[in-house]
């Protein structure tokens, strides 16, 4: 006799649907059959948060949406339907990451294909005076300009009744509003790494993979605990060896004795120390917005938008791949629990903490004291200009800023010195014009030298105090430039992007963690180049691998692993190779200063270049061309500002000229191509051919460096 007819891991006696393996016995979002097939427990809801491929989306969500729970390429940071919105953002907004015509990035109820601004829920797509999100929340159509009647004012107070209706429908102040909090998240510059909005009131109710978190972090909770039922209350993290749960830290709503705290397992149970006279008592009673932050070596506790406590000399970091969220220690009753949670890979600034607090707990302002909360008031400062058209919606004395300099037109003494003006009338806005005043000197150099980039008259090319034939102004400008010989990633990145044959992949962000970036290099074949801009000061481990792993076939090593202090490469299954030095060159690992390091595969063998010079070779053709090649500190350790500052992979072997130029750009090496005494990065005509580098004739003579009267 078959006691499990649908082979879903649950006996027919216990199974509410014994012939349906797609049922979900433990209601964790995963079908019983899927859990059984993948080694999970179909009768345990705590594994509903599993993320098998580590792509930032739970298996349950991937299955629901038609994504692949075993393929990291369709994860939270990917954009599977190529609609400009990441899968993670679409899931948060409740739209389909597989349908390019269905997304709502700002969660205002208007799909992006129709939304006038899908990054702002307070935009007004139908231009009827009400924000899209207000119309959606109050039963109006944000795409119908005729469904709102402003003519009705039954109490003759001068304010259309529609606004009183909108205000009456708002959640009462102090009540939890998870929906408005989610809307607030969509307005942040950087979204959280993880969010969870299901009610949590049991131990270890959901598990998260927080292994992507590093450095400064934030953990945000919306909670309500009416009273203290147990003298302790743990919300995130746990050490339970029997269940294989071993986070480094745990966040405690109550550490004991009625105070908030955090536990660093194996070290101490910390209670927050009060700051600025605030109370660190566990805030039982009313709903609470709680944020715990690891910042600058300390742990901070924020309650309802105010920092109340800290743990000095210890910065919290909960980054375990199996981190439980729940009432992990202590007891709750009724509707007490966690209503929403978010984890951020950064320390939230105070402005964002206070903004999210207001969203989470329905806190409202009335800036102009007209009886309407700002969230529904069309004109918050009562200056006669609705907020949607007011550049200064909380300043009754200003409403316009024609040049975009942040100074209202009523107070601005110069309406041409902002990013939206065009001071030289060349048809290019100041914000995108590299030489806004058209005086021959770029804006950034003028600013560095203390000149006004919007005033063509403040630079004098006629002064030559030493009578050498060159204008003194060039020496003044050149002296203001940052000195060469340091890492210049913006300059290098712009250089490689503008190459005739640019790289297939460029990474121009700082890398100092293992597998920090997974790169798809499947387009590479034959002759290839792998370029690094790095800075490693010390050798703490006698081994340092920076690119690739066993799954990639090869690993490129700043230092080969056998304590040789030598550049190398490992071909897995074949050998650990050190680089053979060319005559008169050194292949020692270039610790101690920034370096430009390049591995080139050319005609069946490999070359190694350091700071524009080939130093060695390897009689093997290095090729890393898998779909997921890791870039990071793959072996060894680094400290401080040590790491990889830039990386590029090319589907061809760079020439000696190209390698030298890339080195000069990466290291900020100053060149003077035409020998006129002006560095190329300052010289408007690098070759003195009478034409400026932008192709225009040099009608001013500035490009020669000579005096111009």
Tens digit of each residue's pLDDT (9 = 90 or more) over 276-285:
999 999 999 9
Least confident of 91-100, 106-115, 181-190, 396-405: 91-100
Q: Which two tokens stand for residue 270?
A: 């910390």
Same domain, 698 and 633: no
With a pLDDT cut of 70, the percent of the chain lying above it is: 96
CB 9 within 8 A of CB 35: yes
183 and 330 within one domain: yes
16-20, 302-306, 324-328, 656-660, range with the lowest pLDDT: 16-20
Q: Round to whole Å and give the CA distance between 675 and 209.
A: 58
More confident residue, 338 or 39: 338
Quick one: 299 and 240 in the same domain? Answer: yes
pLDDT band at 706 (very low <50, low <70, confident <90, very high): low
Is 288 within a domain? yes
Residues 264 and 311 in one domain: yes
Residue 2 pLDDT grade (very low, low, confident, very high; cuts 50, 70, 90):
low
Q: Are residues 654 and 701 in the same domain?
A: no
To the nearest whole number, what is the mean pLDDT of the chain? 87
Token pair 């990633």 in the structure block, residue:
489
391-414: average pLDDT: 89
Q: How does residue 93 score in pLDDT terms, banded at 50, 70 and 90?
A: low
* Whether residue 709 has pLDDT greater than 50: no
Tell me how long the chain is.
709
The arithmetic mean of pLDDT across residues 492-501, rounded, is: 92
Which among 310, 339, 361 is the end of a domain?
A: 361
Q: What is the pLDDT of residue 627?
A: 94
Position 685 in a domain: yes
Q: What value does the mean pLDDT take over residues 503-513?
A: 95
Does the pLDDT of residue 563 top 70, yes or no?
Answer: no
Inside any domain, residue 606: yes
User: Is the pLDDT confidence value at 703 over 70?
Assistant: no
Asked whether residue 301 is assigned to any structural domain, the reply reads: yes
Strand-pairing partners, residue 691, are 697
Whether 500 and 658 have beta carbons less than 8 Å apart is answered as no
Residue 493's pLDDT band (boundaries 50, 70, 90)? Answer: very high
Q: How far are the Cα atoms of 55, 173, 204, 207, 338 from residue 51, in angstroms, in the given order?
A: 7, 37, 16, 9, 21
User: Which two tokens mark 679?
Assistant: 């560095």
Between residues 241 and 261, the one the model is more confident about: 261
Q: What is the mean pLDDT of residues 53-81?
A: 84
Q: Is the pLDDT of residue 158 over 80?
A: no
Q: Yes or no: say if 526 and 520 are a contact pair by the CB < 8 Å rule.
A: no
Q: What stretches of 74-123 show up as alpha helix (H) in DSSP?
A: 87-93
Cβ neighbours of residue 508 closer than 8 Å, sequence gap 6 or more: 489, 490, 492, 493, 645, 646
Q: Among 20-29, 266-275, 334-343, 643-652, which is the least confidently predicted range?
A: 20-29
Q: For residue 413, is pLDDT > 80?
A: yes
For the cut 90, the answer to whether the pLDDT of residue 332 exceeds it is yes
Residue located via tokens 């220690």: 329
288 and 304 Cβ atoms separated by less than 8 Å = yes
State how far the Cα of 706 lies from the Cα of 415, in Å rounded to an integer: 34
- Domain assignment present for 353: yes
User: Does an H or E element contain 476, and which?
Assistant: helix 472-480
Which residue, of 361, 386, 407, is where some domain finishes? 361
pLDDT band at residue 314, thresholds of 50, 70 and 90? very high
Indicate whether 701 and 575 sit together in one domain: no
What does the alpha-carbon distance between residue 707 and residue 362 come to, in Å, rounded to a whole number? 66
Res 268: pLDDT: 94
Structural domain count, the chain: 3
In DSSP notation, 124-176 reads -TT-SSS-HHHHHHTT--TT-TTS------TT-SSS-HHHHHHHHTSPPTTS-
Question: What's the pTM?
Answer: 0.51
- Alpha-carbon separation of residue 524 from 78, 101, 498, 528, 530 (angstroms): 21, 33, 20, 7, 11
The residues facing 245 across adjacent strands are 240
User: Is residue 618 located within the same domain as residue 520?
Assistant: yes
Rounded Cα distance between 649 and 657, Å, is 17
Interval 116-145 mean pLDDT: 84
Judgement on whether residues 242 and 289 belong to the same structural domain of the protein: yes
Burial of 260 (0-12, 13-18, 19+ CB in 10 A): buried
pLDDT of residue 176: 96
Predicted pLDDT at 700: 59
652 in the same domain as 542: yes
Distance, CA of 552 to chain centre: 27
- Determine, yes or no, domain membership for 413: no
Q: CB–CB of 400/408 below 8 Å? A: yes
pLDDT at 161: 82
Tell whether the model's pLDDT for residue 704 goes beyond 70. no
Write out the residue range of the structural domain in which residue 569 sits: 489-669
In sequence order, the 6+-apart residues with CB closer than 8 A to the CB of 501 are 650, 652
pLDDT for position 372: 85
Lowest-pLDDT choice from 200-204, 325-329, 665-669: 665-669
- The CATH number given to whatever domain includes residue 272 is 2.60.120.200
Residues 530 and 624: beta-carbon distance below 8 Å: yes
List the single range of 33-47, 216-230, 421-435, 636-650 with lowest mean pLDDT: 33-47
Least confident of 65-79, 81-95, 381-395: 81-95
pLDDT for 658: 94
pLDDT at 198 over 70: yes
Of residues 469 and 411, the one with the higher pLDDT is: 411
Q: Does 372 or 257 have the greater pLDDT score? A: 257
For the ranges 68-82, 319-333, 359-373, 469-483, the maximum mean pLDDT occurs at 319-333
Residue spans of beta strands (DSSP E) within 520-581? 528-535, 544-547, 554-559, 568-571, 575-578, 580-581
- Cβ contacts of residue 82 below 8 Å, gap of 6+? 100
Q: Map tokens 């009400």 to a residue.
A: 130
Q: Is 420 exposed, middle or buried (0-12, 13-18, 19+ CB in 10 A)?
A: middle
Q: Are residues 584 and 694 in the same domain?
A: no
- Domain co-membership, 554 together with 701: no
* Least confident among 198-212, 273-287, 480-494, 589-603: 480-494
| Domain end marker among 333, 361, 389 | 361
Looking at residue 131, its pLDDT comes to 83
First to last CA, the chain: 105
What is the biggest distance separating any 2 CA atoms in the chain, rounded to whole angstroms? 107
Write down the pLDDT at residue 483.
Answer: 58
Residue 474 falls inside a structural domain: no
Classify residue 407: in a domain, yes or no.
no
Residues 552 and 689 occupy one common structural domain: no
Q: Are 461 and 471 in contact (CB under 8 A)?
A: yes
């Amino acid at each position: 006799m078959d006691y499990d007819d649908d082979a879903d891991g649950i006996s027919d006696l216990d199974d509410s649907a014994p012939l349906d393996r797609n049922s979900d016995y433990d209601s964790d979002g995963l079908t019983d059959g899927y859990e059984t097939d993948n080694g999970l427990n179909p009768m345990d809801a705590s594994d509903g948060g599993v993320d098998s491929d580590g792509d930032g989306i739970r298996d349950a969500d991937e299955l629901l949406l038609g994504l692949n729970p075993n393929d990291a390429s369709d994860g939270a940071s990917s954009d599977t339907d190529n609609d400009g919105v990441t899968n993670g953002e679409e899931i948060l907004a409740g739209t389909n990451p597989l349908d390019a015509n269905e997304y709502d990035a700002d969660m205002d109820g208007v799909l992006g294909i129709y939304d006038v601004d899908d990054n702002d829920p307070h935009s007004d797509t139908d231009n009827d005076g009400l924000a899209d999100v207000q119309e959606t929340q109050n039963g109006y159509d944000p795409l119908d300009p005729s469904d709102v009647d402003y003519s009705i004012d039954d109490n003759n107070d001068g304010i259309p009744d529609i606004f009183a209706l909108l205000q009456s429908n708002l959640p009462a102040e102090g009540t939890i509003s998870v929906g408005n909090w989610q809307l607030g998240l969509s307005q942040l510059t950087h979204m959280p790494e993880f969010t969870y909005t299901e009610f949590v009131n049991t131990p270890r109710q959901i598990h998260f993979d927080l292994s992507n978190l590093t450095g400064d972090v934030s953990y945000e909770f919306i909670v309500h605990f009416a009273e203290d039922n147990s003298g302790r209350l743990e919300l995130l993290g746990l050490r339970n060896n029997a269940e294989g749960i071993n986070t480094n830290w745990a966040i405690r709503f109550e550490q004991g004795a009625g105070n908030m705290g955090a536990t660093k397992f194996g070290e101490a149970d910390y209670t927050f120390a009060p700051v600025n006279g605030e109370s660190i008592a566990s805030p039982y009673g009313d709903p609470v917005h709680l944020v715990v932050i690891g910042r600058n070596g300390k742990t901070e506790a924020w309650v309802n938008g105010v920092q109340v406590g800290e743990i000095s000399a210890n910065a919290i970091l909960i980054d375990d791949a199996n981190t439980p969220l729940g009432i992990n220690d202590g007891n709750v009753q009724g509707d007490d629990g966690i209503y929403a949670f978010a984890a951020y890979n950064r320390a939230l600034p105070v402005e964002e903490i206070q903004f999210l607090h207001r969203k989470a707990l329905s806190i409202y302002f009335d800036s102009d004291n007209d009886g309407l909360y700002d969230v529904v008031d069309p004109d918050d400062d009562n200056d006669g200009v609705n907020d949607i058209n007011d550049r200064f919606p909380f300043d009754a004395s200003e409403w316009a800023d024609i040049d975009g300099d942040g100074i209202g037109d009523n107070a601005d003494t110069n309406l041409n010195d902002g990013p939206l003006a065009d001071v030289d009338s060349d048809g290019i806005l100041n914000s995108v014009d590299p030489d806004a005043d058209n005086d021959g000197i770029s804006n950034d150099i003028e600013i560095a030298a203390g000149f006004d980039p919007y005033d063509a008259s403040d630079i004098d090319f006629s002064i030559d105090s030493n009578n050498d034939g060159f204008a003194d102004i060039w020496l003044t400008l050149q002296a203001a430039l940052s000195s060469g010989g340091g890492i210049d990633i913006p300059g290098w990145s712009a250089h490689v992007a503008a190459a005739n044959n640019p790289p297939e992949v460029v990474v121009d962000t700082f890398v100092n963690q293992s597998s920090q970036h997974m790169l798809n290099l499947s387009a590479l074949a034959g002759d290839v180049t792998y370029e690094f801009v790095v800075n490693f000061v010390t050798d703490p481990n006698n081994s340092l691998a920076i690119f690739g792993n066993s799954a990639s076939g090869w690993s490129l090593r700043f230092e080969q692993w056998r304590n040789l202090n030598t550049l190398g490469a490992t071909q897995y299954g074949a050998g650990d190779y050190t680089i053979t030095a060319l005559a008169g060159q050194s292949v020692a690992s270039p610790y101690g200063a920034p370096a430009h390091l390049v591995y080139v595969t050319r005609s069946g063998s490999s070359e190694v270049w350091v700071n524009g010079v080939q130093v060695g070779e390897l009689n093997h053709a290095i090729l890393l061309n898998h779909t997921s090649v890791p870039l990071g500190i793959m072996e060894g350790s680094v400290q401080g500002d040590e790491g990889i500052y830039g990386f590029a992979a090319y589907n061809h072997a760079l020439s000696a000229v190209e390698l030298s130029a890339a080195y000069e750009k990466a290291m900020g090496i100053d060149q003077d191509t035409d020998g006129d005494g002006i560095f190329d990065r300052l010289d408007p005509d690098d070759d003195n051919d009478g034409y400026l580098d932008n192709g225009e004739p040099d009608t001013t003579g500035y490009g020669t460096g000579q005096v111009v009267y």
